[in-house]
Amino acid sequence: MSKKLASQAVDSLLQQLRAPSSTPSLHSTAGYTKVDKNKKKKNKTITKDRLPKTKTGLKKLKHELKYGHSQRRAREEQEAKENPLDKLRSQQEKEEALLEKNLEYFKVSARVSKKELDLRKKIMAMRKRKQDAAEGKVGKQPVDADESDGDSD
């Protein structure tokens, strides 16, 4: 059975199940129209699992996968011709430059303003006062039990 005939048969059976009052015969193609065919094509294209076409990303990627092997091979040959010591030196220079850049950024971003210094001093002074109060150095002194108030019994 061909694909077209099979789809016609399935469509006619489905139509019979949906609407039993208007029953076309099994061998007739009265229920099969071109509109149904167009709807089927639209449904198939919508439900296909594929990525949308784009001008930039996917086409470039496909082109690279298909034709990029020669460019990769040329790049690998050029890298093989390079002196490995020069390559190592250039890599170390790049890392050192990046480290210096990061240090400069850290120095600039970690600077403390005058306001922050004042706040830190105030906080340290408050903490010191609390510690002194807890130890009994400042403020009220605790009274020992054996001390008398001056009255004799």
Kindly give, in sequence order, each residue whose CB lies less than 8 Å from that of residue 53, ignoring residues fewer than 6 positions away.
59
Residue 24 has pLDDT above 90, yes or no: no
Neighbours of 58 (CB within 10 A): 12
Query: Where does the chain show beta strands of DSSP type E?
Result: none
Handedness of CA 86, 91, 95, 100 (dihedral sign): positive
Q: For the chain, what is the mean pLDDT?
A: 76
CA distance 32 to 11: 7
pLDDT digits (tens, 9 = 90+) for 57-110: 777 778 888 888 888 888 899 888 988 899 999 999 999 999 999 999 988 888
Confidence of residue 25 (pLDDT cuts 50, 70, 90): low
Question: For the chain, what are the domain ranges?
Answer: 3-47
CA distance 59 to 65: 10
